[in-house]
Structure formats: C-alpha cells, structure tokens
Amino acid sequence: MSRIVPNLTLLHQFIATAEEGSISRAATQLGISQPALSKNIRKFEEIVGTDLFYRHTRGAELSEAGQVFLNHAQLIALQYEHALQEVSNILENRKATIRIGAQGVWSSTYLPHAVKKFRKSFPKHQLSVSSGNTDELSKNLKIGKIDIFAGVLDNRILMPGFSSIKLGQARMVIMASKNHPIFQLQNKKIPRSIAEYPFVQNHYSKEVFGKLLSIMRSKNLPPPQVAIETSSMFASLELVRNDNYLIFDTSLLMDTPIGKGVTTVPFEPNEFLFDTGLAFRKGLERVSHYNKLIKIVTETLIKTEL
C-alpha cells in the first residue's frame, strides 16, 4: 500500500510542535500563525493515518503513535541536515563542522585534550565548542544548534530521541583557597560561617546556586551572598585563589590544572551528587566523524577518572 510522503516543512512543523508541547508556542517559534500550523498538523496526521497529538487546554501532548513517529522524524531531520552539510562541504571544498555544547569545566579543561586527538584523525573538520548552563545547552541540543552535549546528565538532557553515555559521577561543593581563614575554624562551626564570606559565581553555575540556598535554609543557616559574577571559569578561580572568596561549583575543578590551590570546604550535602557524561541525538553515532569524536571524548574523560 503506497502512502503520500509528507514534505520536510510538515515534518519540521510536527517536530517543533512535539518539542514545544503546544501549537501556539510552536507557531511562534516557526514564525507562522497558529491556525496555519494547526491546519498543517491535521494534514500531517491525515498523511500518517492517525492522531499524533492529544489536544487539551494546556497544549498538545504526543499520543503513543506520535511519540514513536517523533523518534523517527527527528532522525530523518538530522540525516537531512547532515546530507545538506556534506553537499555544502563538497561544493565549498571543506569538511563538516561539529558543534559541542559543554558546561564550563568541560570546555575549559577536558575537551581541549580530546579535540587535539580528534584533529589528528580529521584535520580538515571544524570544531565549535560553546559553553552555557544546562537549560541553555539542553534547548540547543533539542533544536539542533549543538550536536553533542558534555556535562551533567539530568532530566533536561535525557530527552526522548537522544542517547547518553554516563562517564562518572561528580558533586557540587563549596571551595576556597587553601589559605582561606574558614579553615582555621572547627568543622562544626564552618556551616554557619559560610555566609560571612562572599561568593564568586560563574554564569553557567548560577542555576544551581539556588540548591545551595535551599540546603542552607533547611538547616536554618544564614544564606550565602554572591559578591561577583563572571563568565570566565579562569577568572572565578583566580579570584578564589587570591582572596577570601568562596565558590560553589563542581568538584571536577580540583582535578584540573586550573583548580590548583583550591580545596573543598567541609560542607557537602548528598543532594549535590550527579551523573556526568555525553548526550546526542540517536543515530548520530552512525556518522563516522561523530562516532570518532564521541569515542575520543569518552576515552579521554575515563582516563581522567571523573
């Protein structure tokens, strides 16, 4: 039995609606009217032969068939994008650009080692590494602005249609210079004294600072105060090393050259433990240069013993 094949515009509109969970929000993202998108989604469902969404007052929720179709649709869209990219590379006599989105410590310390190894195998390929917080990077991963994510593997990253590789566990800790006066106190007095010293906050870790506030509140401790915000991991640690600042960030920093001279303040609630690794759209590992990069990053980080 032959079927009408939907065009890529309808496919793209279906994916956008599924990912936004709302026809109105998807229409805004796509730059078309809501009635036009709604009509196209109905047309798409007629072509597929079943309802792909449950419509309700809160938006549009994927049906069971819709979820199955979405997984394939995202892969089709990805393969189409790769096909266009490879044709463009041939016409312009260049290789592909691989886009990696990484949280601060990854882009500043671990990824440069992996990139060096990758370039030996694919010297003409371009690599683009961007940093950001989890919300920004998960959105960019979902809409295809980045190909591979490196960082914390939580529910914002572990999305339907994506694969992940867990490389280890890390934790969020309060850190200070080894010469910080807080270490002159008895351990039991340290938690209440944390609020007496200003914090340096990196832009990408701003989202997790609220967790520290919640823990301090639950223990009836004074709230910590942020004195300086930076967008540079190097600047943050330099401030901590050379003054009486504290920083709330991943323990991975202390295992890197830029974390030299910084150590953990004895205040480490179990709530701050998290998985770390890579995430990418399913099927990406079947493309040779992506597969090679994923393997190199995995081997590099495992050897570093996260």
Please answer whether residues 149 and 101 qualify as being in contact, where contact means their C-beta atoms are separated by less than 8 angstroms. Answer: yes
For 180-230, the pLDDT digits (tens) are 999 998 888 888 889 899 999 877 667 778 888 888 888 888 888 899 988
Please answer whether residues 15 and 25 qualify as being in contact, where contact means their C-beta atoms are separated by less than 8 angstroms. Answer: no
Compute the distance between CA of residue 296 and CA of residue 291 in angstroms, rounded to an integer.
9
pLDDT tens for the chain, 306 residues long, are 345 556 788 888 999 999 888 889 889 988 999 999 999 999 988 888 889 998 888 888 899 998 888 888 887 887 777 677 666 655 554 567 788 988 877 777 777 778 888 888 888 788 888 888 888 888 888 878 888 999 888 888 888 888 999 988 888 889 999 999 999 988 888 888 898 999 998 776 677 788 888 888 888 888 888 999 888 888 888 999 999 999 998 888 887 778 888 999 988 665 678 888 899 988 888 877 888 888 888 887 655 544
pLDDT score recorded for residue 93: 47
For 256-288, the pLDDT digits (tens) are 778 888 999 988 665 678 888 899 988 888 877
pLDDT score recorded for residue 5: 56
| Burial bucket for residue 294 (CB in 10 Å: 0-12, 13-18, 19+) | buried
Closest CA to 199 of 227, 221, 235: 227
Compute the distance between CA of residue 306 and CA of residue 304 in angstroms, rounded to an integer.
6
Mean of pLDDT over the chain: 83
Compute the distance between CA of residue 303 and CA of residue 306 in angstroms, rounded to an integer.
8
Sequence-distant (6+) residues with CB within 8 A of 166 are 153, 275, 276, 277
Q: For the chain, how long is the longest CA-to-CA vector?
A: 78
Compute the distance between CA of residue 286 and CA of residue 238 in angstroms, rounded to an integer.
41
Residue found under tokens 């260049």: 94
- Angle between helical axes of 8-20 and 23-30 (0-180°, round to 10): 130
